[in-house]
């Protein structure tokens, strides 16, 4: 998130890193599992690393977009009234970009579930992904479908929980945007 704010706020930083971001971003996260196994071995550290890699992109891209979409007049006006660069970041940029950041977090939550389940299928010795694949290989399709249903239920539950937390954390934003519509 911090990197996204820096890249969105400072045009030079974004220009210098754009090629690298656009090179790495489309790489399928499951494609780095073999590389992660080489460096981290088979285990939780590998699954966490691959999941963090996959989840970082929606947060980064949405944060950059959120910061870039802020009307620069707001920032310039704040600076004219004596707000320093860092205070303007904290008081104007971060609140204005927060809906984008929260969207990136929500997308990343689903990606995390997908990646953890996939990693468990490929290298796991436990977990729902391992269970689903093990049941499929054992021709116990009823249990396999039950595992798939549990992953879907877990995803639904995590999404609902996230929405509740988002509603609380972003209540100030809803009040502000509702006020603008009057």
User: Distance from CA of residue 171 to its chain's centroid?
Assistant: 21
Which pLDDT tens digit goes with each residue over 60-101? 999 999 999 998 888 888 888 888 888 888 888 899 999 999
Which pLDDT tens digit goes with each residue over 12-71? 999 999 999 999 999 999 899 999 999 999 989 999 999 999 999 999 999 999 999 998
The DSSP-derived string for 9-61 is H-HHHHHHHHHHHHHHTTS-GGGGHHHHHHHH-SSHHHHHHHHHHHHHHHHHH
Query: What's the number of domains the chain is made of?
Result: 1
Which CATH number does the domain housing residue 137 bear? 1.10.3720.10
Contact indicator for 111, 61 with CB cutoff of 8 Å: no
Tell me the CA end-to-end span of the chain in Å, nearest whole number.
32
**Residue 180's pLDDT band (cuts 50, 70, 90):** low
Domain limits for position 44: 2-181
Q: For 107-126, what is the mean pLDDT? A: 93
Would the pTM count as exceeding 0.75?
Answer: yes
Cα distance between residue 60 and residue 17, in whole Å: 12
């Amino acid at each position: 998130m911090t990197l996204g704010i820096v890249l969105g706020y400072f045009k030079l930083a974004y220009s210098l890193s754009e090629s690298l971001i656009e090179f790495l971003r489309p790489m399928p996260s499951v494609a780095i599992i073999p590389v992660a196994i080489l460096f981290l071995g088979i285990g939780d550290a590998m699954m966490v690393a691959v999941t963090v890699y996959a989840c970082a992109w929606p947060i980064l891209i949405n944060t950059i977009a959120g910061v870039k979409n802020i009307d620069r007049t707001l920032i310039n006006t704040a600076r004219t009234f004596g707000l320093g660069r860092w205070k303007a970041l904290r008081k104007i940029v971060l609140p204005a970009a927060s809906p984008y950041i929260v969207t990136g977090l929500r997308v990343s939550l689903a990606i995390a579930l997908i990646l953890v389940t996939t990693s468990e299928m490929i290298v796991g010795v436990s977990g729902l992904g391992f269970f689903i694949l093990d049941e499929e290989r054992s021709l116990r399709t009823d249990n396999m479908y039950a595992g798939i249903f549990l992953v879907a239920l877990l995803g639904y539950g995590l999404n609902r929980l996230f929405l509740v937390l988002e509603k609380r954390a972003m209540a100030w934003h809803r009040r502000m945007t509702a006020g603008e519509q009057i």
